[in-house]
Chains A and B, each alone.
Chain A
Amino acid sequence: MAILVDKNTRLLVQGITGREGEFHSRQMLAYGTQVVAGVTPGKGGQMACDGRVPVFDTVAEAVEETGANASIIYVPARFAADAILEAADAGLPLVVCITEGIPTLDMVRVRAYLDQRGTRLIGPNCPGLLSPGQAKVGIMPGHIAMPGPVGVVSRSGTLTYEVVYALTARGMGQTTCVGIGGDPIIGTTFVDVLEMFEDDPATEQVVLIGEIGGSDEERAAQFIAEKMTKPVVAFIAGRTAPPGKRMGHAGAIIQGGSGTAAEKIAAFEAVGVRVAEHPEQIAEIVAR
């Protein structure tokens, strides 16, 4: 079992003929993901990835021809909002957007539209999804993970890999690793993913990796207190981050004195969630 993506996922890649899109499509194919179609406007009729993946001009055509049921987006920031809307409009239930740098007000409009359509968006500005042994939808390195009972959800990229790598090294595999993204406005939040892990019979424990900015972690703490039966281990990056400065991710900023690591850690500890002091402690705590 896994959440969001598994061996039945039929993936469509938007931006498949771009450098990033092509590279990661090959990686996803090599992992065993069913990459059934690609979309690049103006390049319909070509084949990508050494003739393995047919390319279409539009998402609608690709879905009709191949029965794709999820999309991943690798298009540049200024076209990404359009790509997400196109995927939603074509009726895809799951859209993963890797692209970093989409203007926030574009995402405000996109999110309002998706909420009406009922499309689930992961990201943007995220590493995507990995259900070890089943499907890799994104840019996470597949070989550092292995199947097992731990659900991982994170706002970060390499920090997540670090934690997954440490879990795997201790023999603790993962159901699904979910990168929800580092932007201020994202399609899927911690609470959404916690809810899925709670409902997933294969997930026994959850690791949550948060960071400064916003209040998604505080809502997650409240959700854990009210609804979750499975244990959660948390880590918050940015204890030493200065206020008012964007720490790489557009969403990682302490504004008006709120969104600090201290507040988030306190929120988790108040509901009995164990918070690791540094990333390597996460796997130690999970292993206990």
Chain B
Amino acid sequence: MGRYLLKRLSQAVLVVISVMVVVFVVTRLIGDPVAVMLPLEATEENRALLEAQLGLDRPILAQLGDYVADAVRFDLGDSLWQRRPAIDVVLERLPPTVLLVAAGFSFGVLLGLVIGIVSGMRPGGWVDRGAVTLGLLGVSLPQFWIGLVFIVFFSVGLGWFPTSGSGGIEHLVLPAVVLGLPVVGRIALVTRSSMIDELNAQHVKDATGRGVSRSRIVMVHALKGAGIASITIAGWELIGVLAGGAVVVETVYAWPGIGFTAMQAIERHDIILVQAVVFVVAIMVVTINIIVDVAYTMLDPRVKFDRVS
């Protein structure tokens, strides 16, 4: 277990470093960071000054080395927009994102599990058909659009929730629901599918033959198998919510988290702040991956630690 964790941790560090190298290559080699950051009317002197300030006039490999070395020490440079360490800006905006992601993800997983279990128990019935349609809608509707439609109906039309911003629990409801909708869809479809598999599996049929009650079979046997299947996909979903959905939903609802910050930074051509957001999200993503793998291994006795690569 200890050796396994150590191996996973070193892999995680490698992933974060490669993300930063990709960002570096894209910003410094393919793009022109100075041109992106400066206004159109900037003079040659402005350019040279900013280049020297950012160290862009030095050899590229020296830049890359310093960049990775600084990133490992959580130093990503000063935000051009806020004029203070970019990492501080990101860490300051992190709590709202964690709150939103936690709320949206829990909503998505819980509702998805309930829908999946209920529809998987009687496949083909009208409850099942309704659930599958709902699941398909969840994965097919664009989040930014659902977010705006909810604003039109629930905020403008019915006046139940504020249109945007943060503050009380009433601000959290709409963005969290929108963030969780694709999760509801996918978790429901996967849980349903593995419920059907489990209920048809030999050990479950044997249990039925021994006279174990239906509710006990669903609760003990089928749910366990379905739970294992859902955990893997739940990890994927959490990563998708964090690295994708949150940016879109925070932007729609002006929710002051790191996704909204990333968009503001892009609008203000603050590449350094964008890099800091990517860095922090990359760390969170690899951490989630490790947690999911460990949870998976603990839940499913068929998987051994040394076998998971």
Chains A and B belong together in one complex: no
List residues of chain A with CB under 8 Å of any chain B CB: none
